[in-house]
Structure 1
Amino acid sequence: MTMALPDLLALCVLCLIPVAAWKAPSFCHETNCPEYTVIHTYPDFEERLYRPSHWLTVDVSKVDMEEVKTAMFTLYYYTKGENKDKADVKLPWPSTIQVEEEGEGDEQQKQKHGSVSWPIPSGTHLPKANAHAIKETHLPAVRVYVRSFGGVASEKSGTEEVTKLRASVKAMGMTFVPNRFVAAGYDSPLNLINRHNEVWVFAE
């Protein structure tokens, strides 16, 4: 299997970074978040290099509140025993929504599909899922631009933050993969204060 040049370069950079014990940031709530290295911090966003990671994923044909909520509950119930072993499975933050955009116009007019995921720490035993929609996915080493924001995230606020992030990255003279982004949340819906949310766009 051949590897795209940006992925190959990211992997080479990753190999040059000294190996150190991963210390997850405080917004991971002492869970084993996907590991990354901060390459550079800009005024409005952060550039990160993520190590290869595995995720538990449910695809959604349309990124709207109903389908995303259904996918998230499918994953949640899996972790609470709706699996072949009837076992609880502890997965860390963040929960993510990866969005693929189609069509022209502004962000509100584009058609969106994608997936909802939770990360799988190395060494985690995953019982077979009862729900056929659940699958395991792999994210190779990847470089992303990240904008953080607080509050209770919504489809509207997520779209606004992506627009701001893209504008900031362009203003710095850098490019990113168009029509693709990730929204990441690090808090339970029951936690209404000091919430940490992110949007990511993929560096080219």
Structure 2
Amino acid sequence: MMTAVKSVFTSSHLQMPEYEPVKTYEKGYEERKYAPSRWVSTSLDLMTSEEATISKKERRESFFKLFNYISGENEGSQKIEMTAPVARQYIPGQGPACETKYTMSFFVPREFTENTPKPKAPDVTITNLPQMTVFVKKFSGFADDDKYLEEMKRFVSILEEDGHQVKDDVYYFAGYDSPFKLLNRRNEVWLVKDCEDGQLSHQVVPNASSGGDPAEKLETSGGEEQSHIENPAGAEAGAVGGAEAAGPASEDQTFNANPNEVGMD
């Protein structure tokens, strides 16, 4: 098991979702339009404050549910390559004591888009991301949820200063690097552009018992069965708007710095 984990997080050239770069702004953020894509996801409700964060234990458990899926816990026992990034979606609850919906997702490689293996675990689902436009802010270093929230608040202020409208009921964190990578780390905050085209901002999880219909075609515009679990940053080499090759993906500080042990920071 450990050999497999280390192999995933030391490999390179990971597939990433495709996007079209719209604009890079002087204040250091980007606007991107993502193509429709497919993800494998797991969700939970956080009974905490409006700015709910997930514990390391919960992040670790979510991550390994998805890692087990790509390791063969799916119909057909197919092995699926790791991709980047690991995306985390938060849909804040309304009020000080409401549930916040948290979803972690791995991008499904393009060769599995049309025939996505159904998950065996009842709390792992196949979800679709329709075409969407997002504002993206990159930052480096090791980042826990508090750091992501700090960066997100700064980003919201910058976008407001520049006159941009974004969805205020959802936000995303994205990690691209193994905890074994010490320098030039890549983290991103995504905020969904509040467009007039009706694009959705919330992930709608398909039937949890079946993992949804893997044969369902991806659509280029949102619908009730579509999800907005965004896929940050670049695409692999040759893809539309592909960013520079990033380090291998991880669940952002899920793993201990000790390369011989999987654990918490």
Report the CA distance between 1:130 and its aligned residue.
Answer: 2.2
Q: How many equivalent residue pairs? A: 174
Report the CA distance between 1:45 and its aligned residue.
Answer: 1.1
Preserved CA contact (<8 Å) 1:60 1:116: no
Q: Distance in 1 between matches of 2:103 and 2:12?
A: 24
In the other structure, the counterpart of 1:123 is 111
Is the aligned partner of 1:196 residue 2:180?
Answer: no
In the other structure, the counterpart of 2:6 is none
TM-score of the two chains, using structure 2 as the length reference: 0.61
In the other structure, the counterpart of 1:32 is 15
Aligned amino acid, residue 118 of structure 1: F
SS in 2 for 1:123: helix
Q: Distance in 2 between matches of 1:60 and 1:191?
A: 29
Q: Which runs of 5+ in 1 are unaligned?
A: 1-27
SS in 2 for 1:89: coil
After superposition, what is the alpha-carbon deviation per residue over 1:5-30, rounded to whole angstroms, capped at 9, x for unaligned? xxxxxxxxxxxxxxxxxxxxxxx942
Is the aligned partner of 1:102 residue 2:86?
Answer: no
Q: Which structure has more helix as a fraction of its residues? A: 1
In the other structure, the counterpart of 1:16 is none
Q: Which structure has more strand as a fraction of its residues? A: 1
Q: 1:149 to 1:122 in 2, by over 3 A?
A: same
Preserved CA contact (<8 Å) 1:101 1:112: yes
Aligned with 1:155 (options 141, 145, 156)? 145
Q: Greater CA deviation, 124-133 or 175-184?
A: 124-133
Q: Greater CA deviation, 123-132 or 47-56?
A: 123-132
Structure 1 ranges of 4+ moved more than 4 A: none
SS in 1 for 2:143: coil
Calculate the aligned-residue CA RMSD, in Å.
2.1
Q: Distance in 2 between matches of 1:183 and 1:81?
A: 26
Aligned amino acid, residue 154 of structure 1: D
Q: Distance in 1 between matches of 2:121 and 2:128?
A: 19
Is the aligned partner of 1:137 residue 2:127?
Answer: yes
Aligned amino acid, residue 35 of structure 1: E
Q: How do residues 82-93 of structure 1 correspond to structure 2 at under 5 angstroms?
A: 82-93=73-84
After superposition, what is the alpha-carbon deviation per residue over 1:20-52, rounded to whole angstroms, capped at 9, x for unaligned? xxxxxxxx9422211111111111311111111
TM-score of the two chains, using structure 1 as the length reference: 0.78
User: Larger relative CO (CA 8 A, sep 6+): 1 or 2?
Assistant: 2
Preserved CA contact (<8 Å) 2:81 2:109: no
Percentage of pairs with the same residue: 29
In the other structure, the counterpart of 1:57 is 41
Preserved CA contact (<8 Å) 1:54 1:138: yes
In the other structure, the counterpart of 1:112 is 100
After superposition, what is the alpha-carbon deviation per residue over 1:168-197, rounded to whole angstroms, capped at 9, x for unaligned? 110101110002111011112333332111
Is the aligned partner of 1:73 residue 2:64?
Answer: yes
Preserved CA contact (<8 Å) 1:89 1:126: no
After superposition, what is the alpha-carbon deviation per residue over 1:85-111, rounded to whole angstroms, capped at 9, x for unaligned? 333211310010011012357xxx985
